[in-house]
Chain A
């Protein structure tokens, strides 16, 4: 670990990705995350790494796909409408078993929407997004520091499972300046080209083939089942969450990313008034921490889900609760960010306050 530096979230995330071993960046301009590619454009050439601005998001994600096939640590960053354009590429990447990292700084939608912070891409990120049966691992940091630490995990998980990892942030985390401490630089020189990478046959006796195509349905089914097997493993061992003041909690707020951070303040307000409420904050949105929800079902009176959307993670919380307790919801839409007081007031209504 180094010294603490005051950095803007959208630039810190790029620096962290670079230190975590990102060797290539491909992207396309879109607000509210232009500072991230701009930061890459300055730093990558200095380090002899690749920065390339594509002619569209469709091109950018397919460049990522190409680089990922060589086993190179590769990243792209974008925001909601740009991420929508990339979905076809995501789907190909998923069924081709190649690793990459994608940062989505979510903005208000649908359509052109606005450029304010939102969390309305939860469904798109966690349930697949593109066509076919697939998932990406989805990480949701709630501070600039966590966002930086997570870039290392993102690349490691991507390599470990040969999967796309989405880091889901928003413009609020991007524009915020906070002190960050970066982990040590990844030793990129020690990385060996993976044996599956398509970099020329060389000394190998076999030819590597990366494809998402199987013409015969029985073969494609096998390919799909293999993918599903991978997802079951990930669901078993990669679930991450944070419990905040849950030990004695009678009520629980569920929230991720920016809203979880705001809700922590709401919880402290409640605690001052003697209301025992805690937070379950999913860190991996896929795989979703259903088990911790199930574990707390008998302990608490109800669940109160808070999001900057119309209730997306809400569906996963309800699956975890499975009808055993009420699940209430408070959401702001279109780029509106709730205040801690607002969340607290909405929460108090449910306990009759």
Chain B
């Protein structure tokens, strides 16, 4: 088991000087995931904050092989790389083993890239797909996505007199991925890099596709002070808004169970996207949110207890 000191002392795939916002957690996520690989890593990156901020023409922050592609096709391109790699290896043109990694934001994963993701998981390519989930289209200015939580105000579901923000609950992308019967899926968050590292290690080691959703609070569009990214990520787990768990060979294991679940208000307060929920007329929204979180957590506990395979 590696320690944090060991992980951070490894060479990072990202060079300093990329243009991510101050307080953004994407680079520690990328550096930690790649650090978990004991083989060279090839990255396919969908259009997203990560892609835009690391490749401001004519520069690149990437020290490892990296390809950008259309918004909807990270998983498809990763499939292509994996297939070509297998073919080259079979013909004896390559001898080294590599890990193939796809990165996408939540828009490129939950929404437009969903079809390609599902296809790649179903075909069983040996690769890992990581979505860093900042709960909206942050690169284009905070439009709602399939990952945007219930009640959040975004530029395309603005809260106001006719709306309390997004009226739908977010997609459970981890369970959707697990339903493809792939060997490893997990939910992680940027505040717990050791947990993320361990999961990435399992993902790379899996005999088939692996999928991880990593929560990445967005200082710019959740609207909070940039020093609070890790604090909000931690609160997301402590409120059970974003449980840390994994599904290994179909079986659920919860990695973190708060001793005392904090009320969801703790996570919501201070974020401008939820500010309107603290008006008296929106009290019911927070109540409904709390109810859904508790029900989902209860369901997850039951899944873990039952050990019934996905």
Contact = CB atoms under 8 A, between A and B. Distances in A.
A81 interface: yes
A42 B158 contact: yes
B140 A34 contact: yes
B216 interface: no
B280 interface: no
B155 A38 contact: yes
Interface string B53-96: 00000000000000010111000000000000000000000000
B163 interface: yes
Contacts, number: 50
A112 interface: yes
Given A29-B143, A34-B141, A81-B70, A55 B114 contact: yes
Determine the interface band of chain A, counting residues with CB < 8 A from chain B. Answer: 10 to 19
A112 B68 contact: yes
B192 interface: no
Nearest to A31: B140
Contact of A53 (B114, B144, B162): B144
A256 interface: no
Interface string A42-70: 10011000010101110000000000000
B231 to A, nearest CB: 28
A210 interface: no
B115 to A, nearest CB: 8
B70 A38 contact: no
A223 interface: no
Interface string B139-165: 011011010000000011110101100
B295 interface: no
A53 B136 CA distance: 12
Nearest to A40: B156
B266 to A, nearest CB: 29
B52 to A, nearest CB: 10
Given A38-B143, A112-B68, A29 B107 contact: yes
Interface of B is mostly: loop
Contact of A37 (B68, B70, B156): B156
A98 B79 CA distance: 38
B223 to A, nearest CB: 16
B47 interface: yes
Contacts of B197: none
Contacts of B144: 53
A56 B141 contact: no
A38 B153 CA distance: 12
Contacts of B111: 55-56
B211 interface: no
A250 B192 CA distance: 73
B159 to A, nearest CB: 11
Given A30-B140, A55-B146, A42 B68 contact: no
Given A31-B140, A34-B143, A112-B68, A41 B158 contact: yes
A56 B140 contact: no
B112 interface: yes
B297 to A, nearest CB: 27
B232 interface: no
Given A30-B140, A55-B111, A112 B47 contact: yes
B299 to A, nearest CB: 25
Contact of B143 (A37, A42, A57, A85): A37
A28 interface: yes
A30 to B, nearest CB: 7
A53 B154 CA distance: 12
B137 interface: yes
Contacts of B141: 29, 31, 34, 38
B308 to A, nearest CB: 30
B156 A38 contact: yes
B53 to A, nearest CB: 14
B169 to A, nearest CB: 16
19 contacts: A29-B107, A29-B137, A34-B141, A34-B155, A37-B156, A38-B141, A38-B143, A38-B156, A38-B158, A46-B162, A51-B156, A53-B157, A55-B110, A55-B112, A55-B114, A57-B112, A81-B70, A85-B72, A112-B68
Interface of A: 28-31, 34, 37-38, 41-42, 45-46, 51, 53, 55-57, 81, 85, 112
Interface of B: 47, 68, 70-72, 107, 110-112, 114, 137, 140-141, 143-144, 146, 155-158, 160, 162-163
Closest 5 A/B residue pairs (Cβ): A55-B111, A56-B112, A29-B143, A41-B156, A38-B155
